[in-house]
Amino acid sequence: MPNWLKTAGALVVSAVSVHLFYFSLIRPHAEQALFLAQQQGQSAARTLSVILKDYEQEICIILMFWGIYLILDKCYTIARHRYLFNMKLIAEDHEMDANESTMQKMQSALREFEKIKDHDTRNAPLITTLSTAARRYVATQDVQNTSDAIVTGVEALAARIESENSMIRYLIWAIPSIGFIGTVRGIGQALSQADQALAGDISGMTSSLGLAFNSTLVALIISIILMFLLHELQRLQDKLVVDTQAYCEKFLLNRIEKS
């Protein structure tokens, strides 16, 4: 299944699930609490359903679950390929024919990489970087060019990882912005009910101010959670980049230099 289709499907599932939860539980409880408070002439208690009842909070929660899916999916992809660093992707010298030259050994390694049937494994960052460096050595028979190929491959990996995180960063920016939209909407509604407050009925104004503060509160809490998860993801990604370069230098570049 294409990655964009899985991402779009995750957004749809998040939106439908959260909306059903709101429709069946959050808004009925919030409306009941607000009705009872209005009957008693008091402000509604700040229960979880009252804090979450508005549309801005619902949108923020939908985006939160979508962002969590994006982060966990990338973490799973990294974890799924970690076993490659514990494998001998390039055979040791004593495991090969002693009469083979370094060129022939690199050609054999390339053929082994091309025989990998699993498309996902064949396109793993470590396999891709090793293939690029080995192919560069076969073409140039130069250690410096091979070293440059490793550096270029690692830099390309880091740039690709950075670009793939752009949607997550956008969500972390967008969620507080949606919260601020709720703040502006709530304050606007409160100001429009100033006449009623001066007449002694402050229930409408307090409800509108509750929207203003609750939307910002929920949005900021969600952004803190997503920012923490993003930093953990970046830690794993940085480790992937460092380990990829170290593996290529240890098992490919050093062997070529010794040859």
Q: What is the mean pLDDT of the chain?
A: 84
**pLDDT more than 90, % of the chain:** 36
The whole-number pLDDT of residue 106 equals 80
> At what angle are helices 203-248 and 143-164 packed, to 10 degrees?
170
Classify residue 153 by burial, with Cβ atoms within 10 Å: 0-12, 13-18, 19+: buried
**pLDDT more than 70, % of the chain:** 85
The whole-number pLDDT of residue 259 equals 61
**Mean pLDDT, range 6-17, rounded to an integer:** 93
Instruction: Pick 44 or 30 by higher pLDDT.
Output: 30
Q: Could you read off the pLDDT of 234-251 as tens digits, one per residue?
A: 999 999 999 999 998 888
What's the per-residue H, E or C state across 112-180? HHHCCCCHHHHCCHHHHHHHHHHHHHHHHCCHHHHHHHHHHHHHHHHHHHHHHCHHHHHHHHHHHHHHH
pLDDT-based confidence at residue 214 (cuts at 50, 70, 90):
confident
pLDDT-based confidence at residue 133 (cuts at 50, 70, 90):
confident
pLDDT-based confidence at residue 21 (cuts at 50, 70, 90):
very high
CB 73 within 8 A of CB 168: no
Instruction: Pick 81 or 33 by higher pLDDT.
Output: 81
Whether residue 94 has pLDDT greater than 70: no
Q: How far apart are CA 102 and CA 114, in angstroms?
A: 19
pLDDT-based confidence at residue 1 (cuts at 50, 70, 90):
low
Q: Could you read off the pLDDT of 186-204 as tens digits, one per residue?
A: 787 777 766 665 565 555 6
pLDDT-based confidence at residue 122 (cuts at 50, 70, 90):
confident
pTM, rounded to two decimals: 0.85
CB 7 within 8 A of CB 70: yes
Q: Which of these ranges, 19-33, 35-49, 112-126, 165-179, has the smallest mean pLDDT? A: 35-49
pLDDT-based confidence at residue 143 (cuts at 50, 70, 90):
confident
